[in-house]
Amino acid sequence: MAEKDKVFKGKLKQTGIVSYKDIYEYMYHMFMDDGYDVIETRYSEVNRGDSKNVEIMWTMSKTISSYFKFQISLFFLVAGLKKVTIKKDGQDVQAESATIEMDFTGTLTKDYNNEWESGIMKILRDIYDKYIIKNRIEDYESKLNDDVQEFLAQIKAFMTLEGQHNF
């Protein structure tokens, strides 16, 4: 079985004027442009009167080599999404308001094809990981951690700019 090392766990939460559609598209393209395959494993909407909640689960993966794969899990909650009217340049403009929460988990997967799984190969894999490629594993863990933190920073900046743009 493939070994998975959790490298990053982080959250992002923001409340205010948002464009849910723009954030969704921005994030999707950001991951795809960086070479990640994006799979939406869950999408649900629940209407709550004049607002709605949206839950999304994404799994992103990027093959690094025949042995390593980066995986990022994202739980994306849009709570209280509703239409609001704001003043922009002295005129009333329609916008959306919500609380957005995102939970990110970055995982380095080793031997994702399970090629080192049988008997002696499993023991050799442990030796290989601990002594032969230890530095490479640490480098990949650092790279994945940096990638996820950079994604978070870009998403925060985008949401901040979108919020300011809508005013």
**Residue in 155, 147, 149, 157 with CA at minimum distance from that of residue 35:** 147
pTM of the predicted model as reported, rounded to 2 decimal places: 0.88
Q: Yes or no: say if 65 and 49 are a contact pair by the CB < 8 Å rule.
A: no
Residue-wise pLDDT tens digits, 24-62: 999 999 999 999 999 999 999 999 889 999 999 999 999
Can you point out the beta strands (E) in 19-149?
A: 37-48, 51-63, 68-88, 91-110
1 or 102, which is more confident?
102
CA distances from residue 89 to 85, 96, 159 in whole angstroms, order as listed: 13, 17, 21
Cβ count within 10 A of residue 133: 15
pLDDT tens figures, 83-122: 998 887 888 888 899 999 999 999 999 999 988 887 888 8
Please determine, for residue 68, whether its predicted confidence score (pLDDT) is greater than 70.
yes
Q: What is the pLDDT of residue 1?
A: 74
Q: What is the pLDDT of residue 167?
A: 44
